[in-house]
Structure 1
Amino acid sequence: MAATAFLLVVSVIALSVITLVFPDLFGNLTGPPLPPGPRPKLLAGNVHQVPRVEPWKTYADWAKKYGQIFLLRVFGQKIIVLNSHSAVADLLESRSSIYSDRPRVWMYKELIGRKLAVFSISSENPRFRIYRKLLKSGLSSRANQEYLPLLYRETKTLLRNLKEYPDQFISHARRNAAAIILEIAYGWQVNSNDDYFVSLMEESFKLHAEIVRPGRWLVDAYPILRFVPSWFPGGGFHKQAEIYRGQFARIDQIPHAWAKEQLHSGTYTPSFTSRYMLKEDGSAPSDEEEDIIKWTSSALYVGGADTTVSVLTSFFLLMALHPESQKRAQDEIQRVVGMSRLPTADDSDRLPYVRALILEILRWCPVAPLGLPHSVTRDDVYDGYRIPKGATVYANIWALSRDPEVYPNPSTFDPERFLPAPNGTLTQMDPRKFVFGFGARVCPGAQFAELSLFVSIARILGTFDVAKPVDEHGREVEPKVEFTTTVTSHPKPFECRITPRAQASEQGVFDE
């Protein structure tokens, strides 16, 4: 047994050396070349060159040297990074039929058991279309109108929390996003910032970030290592996978089991789960149908909560840094809505500057700077380069948002760039074309996200002033603009002053 395992490991190492020294030995030597990129090392490839902090910025710089499409190697994996609007549109949109798969990540998807998760599932799995259909239905324009009372209720709670504990604005934003999504998904009502279901979801985000860091698991680069027994040196990832699998199983099951219990008792709040668990003909869903419902319900939180928190946190940061933009938005709200009530979704068309400000937040600090990885299902050729089957493809969304040919002075925060022209069109590219994903993988909850963000941001602007913090001498302190290097990127912790506007307090908008 030990001898067999040893020979297997030796074979893997030998094969690794061959494929890295002669990467096209088994490929097409007479066809188009692979895209250019940084020179890789013998075994590790470009692992040593991939920055651990904000890699999207480095990739944008590399694009100036190697071109808008370049290649990285992480051990045995080929990674293609797209840095231009044209490349992204041509491949992830126009050729979506072959660029909408997800990479086969052995540790996370196979060994830990996440391959059926909505954001991980292969586009060739029959469930993929079922998931998309359910989510589009549950987050349709009609369904979004039904969610408005929930949005208004939870946003008033957010405003009261900001008034009472302004220093905890990030916690309040997280509670707000979680309360909305958990009630939509399961009918669960959040009553505090340390809610149990919220803590479960936060645990899920942390586990995911811990597991999917590029290059962490050698088995992802060399899948044959999955046959190495757990007791053999180097096989300890099997035991770790088992631990992660148990943790995720608990997180997945608890909210769904609670929602089922409420259905059986007849005391449930209508939700995405209840809508599909209670079939029109009165029959119980099959095990397969229930598993689909469980995965899609959890996807509502995974896809909606953390991203919303990222945008709201960026909003507070940018309003502190740009008081002139904040003042213009507040003046528009006061002129159009007045101070006797809070803005509603019906006010959106009459608040063009507020809408433009939200678009500029989405552009200036995209929530997923590298998006989610795509995978190509067959060999392809683009711009004279070969894109090999199975390659992982990233769209550098941050680079798209900073393209000076599309956005003049791209580093400047300027909501005016998204004010509509007299004919109602935008003169600069709408960032919603790329911040919500691409092709068959575009976010099915984009409309709901826009609606939720408008209600929250318009109401905060109408009731609060956000400013820079001050030191012990009363002098303003400039907040640092730094972001986390995670799939969903957040501003790193910062301080700001949040004070109620006098008119809002006088009109009682904080009252129950």
Structure 2
Amino acid sequence: MVDYIYFYLVLIFLSYIWCSMRRKTASIQRLPSGPWSLPIIGNVHQLNAGHQHHTMAQWGGVYGDLVYARIFRTPVLVLNSVKVARELLDRKSSATSGRPRMMFLTEMLGWDSGIAFMQYGKRWKRHRTWICAAFESKESSSKYQPLQRREARNLLLNIIQAPTLFERHLSRFTAAIIMEIVYGHTMTSADDVFVKRADRAIQGTVDAGQIPATLIDLFPFLWSLPSWLPGMGFKARALELRKLIQETLDAPYVIATEAMSTGIAKSSFVADIIHDHFPHGMTEVDERDIKGAATAIYIAAAETTTTVLSTFILAMVLYPEIYKKAQDEIDRVVGDSRLPDFDDRPCLPYLNCIVKELYRWNSPAPLGVAHATTRKESYAGYDIPGDTILIPNIWAMTQNTIVYRQPDQFCPERFLAVQDADSDDHDPRKYIFGFGRRICPGRHFADSEIWLVVACIAATFDITKARDINGSEITPEVAFTQSFTSRPKAYACQIHPRTTRATLVAQLHLS
């Protein structure tokens, strides 16, 4: 009993010393306010692995749009508003474009050649230049439109043939476009070997868990411990996953380069880079960079686009009156003899508002990808230490009740009813794709692709609630997976061709 008393007295004393030091440090450094942290672990215990964006938004309600916290010894700033994110990540981008060292993902699993996790520097700029050339120019947007039209038609046909498998069809749609753009590889089946391997690698990375990743990032020596020790079982799984990730990087690249050597290669991201930048051969580093850039494009596009499209179908099941308004607008503008096309977009304002609301109602990446400061900085009278992690809480921005009334409701009209609907803090397209020098270079490509599919589905199909064996409607739950992306959990619905679109459906079969 005496031992326990001594133990608690020592613990109380150490906590007092720690808190005193923290108050002193905060006063010297002028840190923003934030939740009280524990000695050693900081605020780790408060961050539920599945709902970190909710917790950070709650912090914002107490401490403001800029919140200071700690993950063990690492300082963290949570940016809960568009204004703060813009001022720190856009205007101070020379100091805030770094990435936290994600040792588990990069050095252990092998994602180090992906631009999303790469540190800001010459290598990052090289990857960024390649990807921007492929996706940011106006020429690239028009270049990919025939492919997007073709795959949108294939998507509609697949839904007609097997409507209950709509999630699978959406995944195939996004994968088919990216595989052809990046590698020149045409998918002939949803069971494409390259796509299935990439999807396993992505899912495996998510399933590896945030706890092992956090521990390895903070305590790298753990990786050197044998996997048979208690609690180290994740190491063996990580080594297997690393092998799968390497195959994901290598296999489609080999197919693309073999096609080039035989003279049958299509124009693609990989082929164009090799042709334009390396006519006299490549080093091993060059090859690794091309593989990494190509795979990064696939991962970013496939997961987020599918998430938004799945969110669209869920929202239309839950809000049939909104879906009917979209269909009526398409019928007036486009008619019933053809599918909507990119040129129709300016004439379909309500449909544009639906796409904006999709991004806002369920932002595909609630916390984006964290930035890090590369040097000491200051903002609004506060000191920001070097190597501070900066987390843009995009979910909090989309749920801001000052900007968006009743944010839990799916309401496209919110973008019709206000004059500043296209302003930086109101239009979610202006912030869900990231900030500063790290903003997604494929954002315009992705947005136009999502719009086309939303328009084509609304023109072709009726979407209603599924029914149980008794004929009663089944209302799907508004629930989303909680990992890097926020995807709707599995739900059922009924999708069938509109009775007024028999001619259009027949044309799809003929095409």
State the TM-score, normalizing by the size of structure 1.
0.89
Give distance in 2, aligned partners of 1:23 and 1:229: 39
Larger helix proportion, structure 1 or 2?
2
| Among 48, 58, 67, the residue aligned to 1:51 | 48
Query: CA 1:331–1:148 in 2, change beyond 3 Å: closer, same or farther?
Result: same
Give distance in 2, aligned partners of 1:348 and 1:387: 43
User: Deviations 1:243-302 (Å, cap 9, x if unpaired)?
Assistant: 333222111101111111111122222211111122388433343333222211112101
Amino acid at match of 2:339: L
**Residue segments in structure 2 that go unaligned for 5+ positions in a row:** 1-13
Give distance in 1, aligned partners of 2:402 and 2:420: 23
Equivalent residue, structure 2, for 1:380 = 377
| Among 133, 139, 144, the residue aligned to 2:129 | 133
Give distance in 2, aligned partners of 1:220 and 1:74: 11
How many positions carry a matched residue from both structures? 495
Shift of residue 222 of structure 1? 2.9
Amino acid at match of 1:305: A
| Among 442, 447, 465, the residue aligned to 2:462 | 465
Query: CA 1:476–1:457 in 2, change beyond 3 Å: closer, same or farther?
Result: same
- Counterpart check, 1:111 vs 2:108: yes
Give distance in 1, aligned partners of 2:124 and 2:357: 32
Describe the SS at the equivalent of 2:462.
strand
Matches within 5 A, 1:37-436: 37-123=34-120, 125-139=121-135, 140-211=137-208, 213=210, 216-223=213-220, 241-279=238-276, 282-419=279-416, 429-436=426-433
Query: CA 1:252–1:233 in 2, change beyond 3 Å: closer, same or farther?
Result: same
CA contact (8 A) 1:39 1:46 kept: yes
Amino acid at match of 1:179: A
Give distance in 2, aligned partners of 1:281 and 1:215: 39
Shift of residue 368 of structure 1? 0.4
Equivalent residue, structure 2, for 1:3 = none
Q: Which segment is superposed worse, 492-501 or 48-57? A: 48-57
| Among 496, 503, 506, the residue aligned to 1:506 | 503
Describe the SS at the equivalent of 2:210.
coil
CA contact (8 A) 1:418 1:428 kept: no
Amino acid at match of 2:395: W
Query: CA 1:332–1:232 in 2, change beyond 3 Å: closer, same or farther?
Result: closer
State the TM-score, normalizing by the size of structure 2.
0.89
Equivalent residue, structure 2, for 1:440 = 437
User: Deviations 1:94-124 (Å, cap 9, x if unpaired)?
Assistant: 111111111012222223333331111101x
Give distance in 2, aligned partners of 1:89 and 1:489: 23
Q: Which segment is superposed worse, 379-388 or 486-495? A: 379-388
Query: CA 1:48–1:421 in 2, change beyond 3 Å: closer, same or farther?
Result: closer
Query: CA 1:472–1:236 in 2, change beyond 3 Å: closer, same or farther?
Result: closer
Shift of residue 228 of structure 1? 5.9
Query: CA 1:195–1:425 in 2, change beyond 3 Å: closer, same or farther?
Result: closer
CA contact (8 A) 1:108 1:211 kept: no
Describe the SS at the equivalent of 1:340.
coil
Describe the SS at the equivalent of 2:367.
coil
Give distance in 2, aligned partners of 1:260 and 1:417: 49
User: Deviations 1:103-149 (Å, cap 9, x if unpaired)?
Assistant: 012222223333331111101x2111111111111112211211111
Give distance in 1, aligned partners of 2:279 and 2:91: 42
Percent identity (aligned): 35
Amino acid at match of 1:414: C
Give distance in 2, aligned partners of 1:166 and 1:143: 32
CA contact (8 A) 2:201 2:241 kept: no
Give distance in 2, aligned partners of 1:54 and 1:502: 42
Query: CA 1:214–1:95 in 2, change beyond 3 Å: closer, same or farther?
Result: farther
CA contact (8 A) 2:420 2:426 kept: no
CA contact (8 A) 1:314 1:361 kept: yes
CA contact (8 A) 2:90 2:435 kept: yes
Query: CA 1:281–1:401 in 2, change beyond 3 Å: closer, same or farther?
Result: closer
Query: CA 1:284–1:160 in 2, change beyond 3 Å: closer, same or farther?
Result: same
Amino acid at match of 1:92: L
Q: Which segment is superposed worse, 431-440 or 500-509? A: 500-509
Give distance in 2, aligned partners of 1:43 and 1:424: 45
Describe the SS at the equivalent of 2:117.
coil
Query: CA 1:423–1:480 in 2, change beyond 3 Å: closer, same or farther?
Result: closer
Query: CA 1:29–1:155 in 2, change beyond 3 Å: closer, same or farther?
Result: closer
Query: CA 1:289–1:30 in 2, change beyond 3 Å: closer, same or farther?
Result: same
Shift of residue 440 of structure 1? 0.4
Describe the SS at the equivalent of 1:499.
strand
Query: CA 1:196–1:189 in 2, change beyond 3 Å: closer, same or farther?
Result: same
Give distance in 2, aligned partners of 1:510 and 1:386: 60
Equivalent residue, structure 2, for 1:483 = 480
Amino acid at match of 1:489: S
Shift of residue 188 of structure 1? 1.0
Query: CA 1:262–1:408 in 2, change beyond 3 Å: closer, same or farther?
Result: same
Amino acid at match of 2:402: E
Shift of residue 227 of structure 1? 6.3
CA contact (8 A) 1:334 1:462 kept: yes
Equivalent residue, structure 1, for 2:6 = none
Query: CA 1:425–1:62 in 2, change beyond 3 Å: closer, same or farther?
Result: closer
RMSD over equivalenced CA pairs, Å: 2.8
CA contact (8 A) 2:105 2:213 kept: no
Amino acid at match of 1:40: S
CA contact (8 A) 1:54 1:485 kept: yes
**Residue segments in structure 1 that go unaligned for 5+ positions in a row:** 1-16
Give distance in 1, aligned partners of 2:368 and 2:41: 24
Shift of residue 239 of structure 1? 5.3
Give distance in 1, aligned partners of 2:241 and 2:423: 46
Give distance in 2, aligned partners of 1:401 and 1:335: 31
Describe the SS at the equivalent of 1:466.
strand
Query: CA 1:280–1:218 in 2, change beyond 3 Å: closer, same or farther?
Result: closer
Q: Which segment is superposed worse, 31-40 or 445-454? A: 31-40
CA contact (8 A) 1:46 1:72 kept: yes
